Amino acid sequence: MAEQRFLIIKSGALGDVIHTLPAAAALRDTFPAARIDWAIQPRWARVLDGNPDLTKAIAFNRNNPIAMARALSGMRATRYTCAIDFQSLYKSALLSFVCGAPRRIGFPSGYVRETLAALFYTERINVRGPHKVDHNLALACAAGARLSPRRFPLVIHSADDEMVSRKLETHNLGEFFVLNPGGSWLSKCWPAERYGQLHRKIFERYGWRGIVSCGPGEEHLAQAVIDSAGSPPPVALKLGLGPLFALLRRAKFVVSADTGPLHLASALGSPVVALFGPTDPSRNGPFSPGDIVVRNAGASETTYRRGKSYSPAMLSITVDQVMDAIERRLGYRR
C-alpha cells in the first residue's frame, strides 16, 4: 500500500475536538505507519498534547495571517493523500481543498451547518449511529479506517497536576466535586443560582464542598453560584486547559450542561451528571454509558437554537432532579 498521509481538520471547539479523538485513533490503528496530522486552533491544541495517534498537531491561527500562511505552506509541502474535514464549515472545507489533498472527505450538505462546505469534498459521507463520535468515525471509515475500541488519549502533565494539588491544599479541599455553570449558548445552560442551591444541598447531606469551574468571561456566573450557595461557599477556580484536565480527573463527580468541560470530564473517566435541554443527548451527550443525563425536553424542544436566555427546557430541570441523578451516578440510590 502506498504511504498514507492524512490531514484531520477539526479546529474547535473543545467538546467537538474530544468527540473526534476516536476517529484519529481508528486511523492510527488501521494505518500504524501513516502520517496523521491535525489542524487545530491554538487555544485547543493542548487537547492533542502527547497524543500517540498523531504525527503532528498543526496550530492553525486564522487571526494571524503570517502564521496561517506558514502553516498552509507546510501542509501543501506535506502532500497529504487525504484530508478529512470533521469541522464541516465553509472555511474548514476550503482548507481541505487548498492544502492540495486529492481526496477530501466530509459530510453531505444536508448535515453540515454551512451547506456550501460540501461542495469542496470529493466524498460526502452519510452519518450512521446516534452520537457525534459515531458520525466522526463514519468519516474515518470512509478514509479506510477499521472500527476499533473508542479511546480518548488525554495526557495530564505532572506540572498541571502539581498546580492543582497546591490549589486544593490552599483551600483545604480533600474530596470535592465540580460544578460548571458556563456554556457557549445561554439557552443550553442551567441557571447559576440553581448550581448554588445544589451545592448547599450536597454539603448538607454529605459534607462535600464544590469547585466552580469558569472560563473567560464567566466570572459572573461563578459569583452567582457562590452567592446562592450560602456557607460554606464553593471555591471558584479559573484554570487553563491543562490544569482543568487534572482538576476534572480528580473530582468525585462533575455536573455540567452540554459544553466542553462536560465532554472533557467524561472522556477523562470522571463520573458525570449532564443537564440537557435544547440539544439532544443521544447525539451530543457524555459518551460513557455510566454517566447520567437529566432532561425534561420533548422532541419539539430539541431545537439547537443558540439563544441568549435560559430555555424553558433547562429551566424545567429541578435541583431535586439533579441531586437524585448525582446519587444514582455514585451508586447511592437505585
Residue range 76-89, pLDDT digits in tens:
999 999 999 999 99
Q: Which amino acid is at 188?
A: K
Q: Where are the beta strands (DSSP E) in the chain?
A: 5-9, 35-40, 56-59, 82-85, 103-106, 123-124, 176-180, 209-213, 235-237, 254-257, 272-275, 292-294
> In angstroms, rounded to a whole number, what is the distance separating the alpha carbons of residues 149 and 130?
17
Residue range 186-232, pLDDT digits in tens:
999 999 999 999 999 999 999 999 999 988 889 999 999 999 999 99
144 has a pLDDT exceeding 60? yes
- Average pLDDT over the chain reads 95
Average pLDDT of the residues in 76-104? 97
How does DSSP classify residue 1? -
pLDDT of residue 60: 86
How does DSSP classify residue 256? E
Residue range 172-185, pLDDT digits in tens:
999 999 999 999 89
pLDDT of residue 333: 64
For 36, the enclosing helix (H) or strand (E) is strand 35-40
pLDDT of residue 113: 83
How does DSSP classify residue 16? H
Residue 296's φ and ψ, nearest 5 degrees, are -110, -10
pLDDT of residue 2: 67
C-alpha cell at 114: 454551512
Residue range 30-42, pLDDT digits in tens:
999 999 999 999 9
> In angstroms, rounded to a whole number, what is the distance separating the alpha carbons of residues 16 and 279?
14
Average pLDDT of the residues in 287-297? 94
Residue range 40-84, pLDDT digits in tens:
999 999 999 999 999 999 998 888 889 889 999 999 999 999 999
334 has a pLDDT exceeding 70? no
C-alpha cell at 290: 455510566
Q: What is the DSSP string of 174-214?
A: SSEEEEE---S-GGGSPPHHHHHHHHHHHHHHH--EEEEE-
> In angstroms, rounded to a whole number, what is the distance separating the alpha carbons of residues 241 and 247?
10
The SS3 of residue 13 is coil
For 126, the enclosing helix (H) or strand (E) is none
The SS3 of residue 9 is strand
Q: How confident is the model at residue 112 (pLDDT cuts 50, 70, 90)?
A: confident
Place of cell 475500541: 149
Query: Sign of the C-alpha dihedral, residues 51, 55, 61, 64?
Result: positive
Domains and CATH numbers, the chain: 5-142 (3.40.50.2000), 158-329 (3.40.50.2000)
171 has a pLDDT exceeding 70? yes
Average pLDDT of the residues in 122-128? 95
